[in-house]
Amino acid sequence: MEMEKETQQKPTPRRSALVTLVLLVAVGVVFSLFSLALSAWEGISWGGNPELFLWNALPVLLLLGLLWLATGQAWLSCLVVGALLFLLTGGNYFKLLFRSEPMLWEDLYHIREGLGMSDQYHVALTPLMIGWIVVIVACTVLLFFLGKGRPKVVPRLIALAAVVAVGAVSFFYVYLDDDRYNALAGDHAQKEVEAYAATGVVYPFLHSVGDYLEAYASYDAAAAQAILSQYEDGVIPEEKKVNLISIQLEAFADLSLYDIDGLSPDVYRGFHALQAESYTGTLITDIFAGGTTETEWAVLTGGNRHGDFSYDTNSVAWYLKSQGYTANGSHPCRDWFYNRLTVNPNLGLDDYLFTDNYYYQFIQEGEDVAYDDVFFPDLEARLTEYFATNEAPLFSFNVTYQGHGPYDTDRVWGSGDYCTGDYQQTTLNALNNYFLHIENTSDWVEQFADYLDTLDEPVVLLLYGDHKPWMGNNGSMYAELGISLDTTTEEGFRNYYSTWYLIWGNQAAKDLLGEDFQGQGPDLSPCFLMNHVFEMLGWEGSAYMQAQRETAHTLPVLHTKGWVEENGVLTATPSEEAQARVEEFQNLSSYDRNHFSY
């Protein structure tokens, strides 16, 4: 009788598994609600749409089920999925806060860089985040004691197969569906950051996988090869072989173009003096306040979509080495940042100098960065030595760090008189700290050009800024300065993405090429910048550079967000002819990236 009673009280395996399943579903719903609550941006949110809740919650529920069925441990499934969803949602929240950009699939390839930069920003958990962490822990404990059920082997295998099937079908037919995504984003569909906020976190994140795959994985190799076969690498005549020094200046933007109250003219004096004797233009970059390598790699490769460069990849450096040049450079920061230690040799840059292998000797132990007071004098010394001991012409590709944000809002590190306008004290502090760097760099580039002019060796100098500086979470300081960052308008788009480029030649280069390096250049995307330099120097360039040249002339701005400059007009709605040319360019770029020539 007692045994019979005990048997009746013990839950059946089927009932126990059902209870566990119900608990997991409840956990998935709660986690999804927390994620959606943290997905809003500047008043834009998912708005309680049931379909959006479904597409944000479904992957969470499927992953919870998959891990439970695979491990038999509901508590472990809860902990892992909760942590992953929290990190994804939190990453999206802080990326929006600091850079007004959502968390995309491709950002997973730069997690180390993101973590490395996070200590420079004020990362503070919100009360909602703290509450979510408590809920994750509580749910994990609850499932540890109450969620011990699991299906028998055969039903378990069937369920696993079903979860995988539903996941695969929904991924390809729901999450990659552009029409569905745009419809659910509604009026916000045309602006990536707004569309993301209007559709949650999980759903738009998975949708971004499709954009990544389309951008990096698919191309018509035969069509690209047919175009490239019409060209051969040009040969640089000996009488036109000048030394080419390229320096990408971190976050260096000419904010004197805006009406900033109390901005001292001394801040940009050296830079403007060099501009006055140079060929200059506007660079429309693909990034804002970060993502330095997007500009860097676009200039080097002539493409605006990039892989991980884990193998030898065509670039300007490889081409110039094939013409007898030495190709090297420097970045006075850590070599692991964006994996440049591996990437730069694969892009043809030899003996590249970093803090780890070179600049450490000039800075305090434990520091990561050498600033311009070290970088420019050292570059001068190394160039002097190179020209005294080498006959091969030089291509030197350098990337600075000084000027990198964020900028201290609590105190001023310099004199504080770079900007004295009527702004909030925190804004003034940040502006003065930024302009402290800018004035120093501005004076150094002028002095560096003076040094190059003393050389008998012909040298052409290419300078450009990689992106606009960070100025407050969600661009708050730009708003205070009256600078629109509304990228749905041409003005806001230009303010958000534009920097500058400058091409200068020393007297020896001017005499050799018969070029004065003066005047106003066109607006350019970074992927066309080096091609433009080659044309000024009278170089044909590689087969790829020649093949892209017509696109560079007709669509000199070709942006990753869909904007192009067509017939002198910057537009977010290119004509069918322009769109076809964009697609041809991207196809050609993909082929060049995947078929090494040297």
CB 446, CB 268: distance < 8 Å? no
Cβ–Cβ < 8 Å for 407, 121: no
Q: Alpha carbon of 303 to those of 108, 133, 538, 558: distances in Å?
A: 21, 42, 21, 10
Higher pLDDT, 195 or 30: 30
Count of CA atoms in the C-beta half-sphere (13 A) of 502: 26
DSSP lists the bridge partners of residue 569 as 566
* Separation of alpha carbons 93 and 40, rounded Å: 8
pLDDT in tens, 546-561: 999 999 999 999 999 8
> 120-128 long-range contacts, Cβ below 8 Å, gap at least 24?
120/405, 120/406, 121/94, 121/406, 123/94, 125/90, 126/38, 126/93, 128/34, 128/37, 128/38
The rounded distance, in Å, linking the Cα atoms of 150 and 145 is 14
The whole-number average pLDDT for the span 408-417 is 88
- Give dist(CA 201, CA 223) in Å, integer: 37
For residues 486-508, average pLDDT: 95
In the chain the domains, ranked by start, together with CATH numbers, are 13-216 (no CATH), 226-594 (3.40.720.10)
Edge-to-edge, what's the strand order for the sheet holding 394-399?
326-330, 394-399, 243-249, 459-465, 501-505, 279-281, 519-520
Is residue 298 within 8 A of residue 286, CB to CB? The reply is yes
Percent of the chain with pLDDT over 70: 94
Q: What is the DSSP string of 489-507?
A: SHHHHHHHHB--EEEEE-H
pTM value is 0.77
Torsion of CA 59, 62, 66, 68, to 10 degrees: 110
CA distance 558 to 555: 6
Comparing 139 with 6, which gets the higher pLDDT? Answer: 139
96-105, 154-163, 168-177: least confident range: 96-105
Enumerate the H helices of 371-424 as residue ranges.
372-389
